[in-house]
Amino acid sequence: MKNFFTTKRLCRAGIIAALYVALTYAFGPLPYIGILQIRPAEALTILPLFFPEAVPALWVGCMLANLGSPFIMYDVPLGGLATLVAALCTYGAGRLIKNHVLKVAVGGLFPVLVNAFCIPFVILLCGGAEGYETAVIAYWSYFVSLLATQALWVYGLGIPLYIAVHRLRQKGVSVFLDGKKPTADNAE
Neighbouring C-beta atoms of residue 71, cutoff 10 Å: 19
Three-class secondary structure of residue 109 per DSSP? helix
Task: Report the alpha-carbon distance of residue 164 to residue 146 in Å, rounded.
Answer: 26
Is 38 exposed, middle or buried, given 0-12, 13-18 or 19+ CB atoms closer than 10 A?
A: middle
Write out the chain's pLDDT in tens, 188 residues: 567 788 999 999 999 999 999 999 999 888 887 677 889 999 999 999 999 999 999 999 999 999 998 889 999 999 999 999 999 999 999 999 999 999 999 999 999 999 999 999 988 888 877 888 888 999 999 999 999 999 999 999 999 999 999 999 999 999 999 876 665 545 55
Q: Cβ(122)–Cβ(74) under 8 Å?
A: yes
Cite the DSSP H helix spans in 2-157.
Answer: 7-25, 54-65, 72-74, 80-96, 100-125, 135-151
Instruction: Show Cβ contacts of residue 129 under 8 Å, excluding neighbours closer than 6 positions.
Output: 135, 138
pTM: predicted TM-score of the whole model, two decimal places: 0.91
